[in-house]
Amino acid sequence: MALEAQVLEPAARVRKLAEHSAEMIHVDSCVPIKRYFRSGKEMIKMANIYFEEEDWERSFVLYNKYITLFVEKLPQQHPEYNQSRTQDIKESKKTVKGAFPKAEETKLKVKEKYTAEYEKWLSEEDSGNKLGTGRNGRMKKLGWKRRRDGGEEERLQREREAAMGEEERQTLRMERERQSLEEQQRILEQQRAAILEEQRREQLALEEEKRCWNLAGKEQRRIDAEPRNNQTEGDVTGNREPVIAPPRPSAPTVDRSLKIDRSTKPNHLAGSDVSPPLERQTSTASGRS
């Protein structure tokens, strides 16, 4: 194990491990939310396996990563979380509820392990200091004291940074909530504007239809008011003047009671019943006398 890890006190070492596991979680909004739910199931499955094998460090890291992902990261950073299936959200919350006690249990186990390693390291350091003589031994003791004091100062500094980080995380969380509310408000405004636009279009369509019906009614009244004799074949009302057929042609009528003067006909047309011309009649009359 590295010297730096051995120098740290067990509590500080556990805290650093938890911070490191939480920093490993990054949420990408381009990745579908259902993939995170599937990865979470695999993560908690491996954590349970390590827990059964008493691999406390890996189990603690996975439990801590799962809790960080589904309690802090996804609900605040992924836009599709609130639109996820209700069943997936309920299952993740149930799993988180069961992961908390196991995370605390593994944390205690890890702390016990780190404490044993830390005490072993202290024992080895004390043995080395006892073997040292004169100035060299005193320098070793002084160096250990400085490292111990430095470790304490480093621990206090990390606690202050953690406190400041918590405030920053709180500020960031509030900022994300504000942005989320603004986004929801913007979506509501867009939906409201779309509804108003649709209502306006429907109103315009009704007004246009009403105007067309009014024009049609005026035209019908105008046509009904016109005289019948002015109607034409193209009249939209269908009222036409009756068509009178011309009289059928017939033979001319001859008055047979009138006497026909046949003397006016030429001789070659005159029959036996035709009287001779006037001159011949005169000469005949003169001879007889």
- At 185-197, the pLDDT tens digits run 778 788 888 888 8
Stated pTM of the model? 0.44
Check residue 3 and give its pLDDT: 47
- At 36-48, the pLDDT tens digits run 999 999 999 999 9
Q: Is the pLDDT of residue 131 over 60?
A: no
3-state DSSP percent of the chain in helix, strand and coil, to 5:
75, 0, 25
Q: List own/partner pairs for 25-31 with CB under 8 A and 24 or more apart.
A: 25/65, 25/68, 25/69, 25/73, 26/73, 27/69, 27/73, 27/74, 27/77, 27/78, 29/77, 29/78, 29/79, 29/80
Tell me the pLDDT band of 179, cut-offs 50, 70 and 90.
confident
Average pLDDT of the chain, as a whole number:
74
Q: 8 vs 72, which has greater pLDDT?
A: 72
Is 59:105 a contact under the CB 8 Å cutoff? no
Q: Is the pLDDT of residue 222 over 50?
A: yes
- At 236-285, the pLDDT tens digits run 555 555 556 666 666 666 556 555 555 555 555 544 454 555 445 445 54
- At 58-74, the pLDDT tens digits run 999 999 999 999 988 88
Check residue 42 and give its pLDDT: 92
Tell me the pLDDT band of 146, cut-offs 50, 70 and 90.
low
Check residue 148 and give its pLDDT: 59
Q: Is the pLDDT of residue 33 over 50?
A: yes
- Tell me the residue length of the chain: 289
Q: 279 vs 15, which has greater pLDDT?
A: 15
Q: What is the mean pLDDT of residues 74-98?
A: 89
Least confident of 30-39, 149-158, 278-287: 278-287
Check residue 102 and give its pLDDT: 92
Check residue 161 and give its pLDDT: 60
Residue 157's φ and ψ, nearest 5 degrees, are: -65, -40
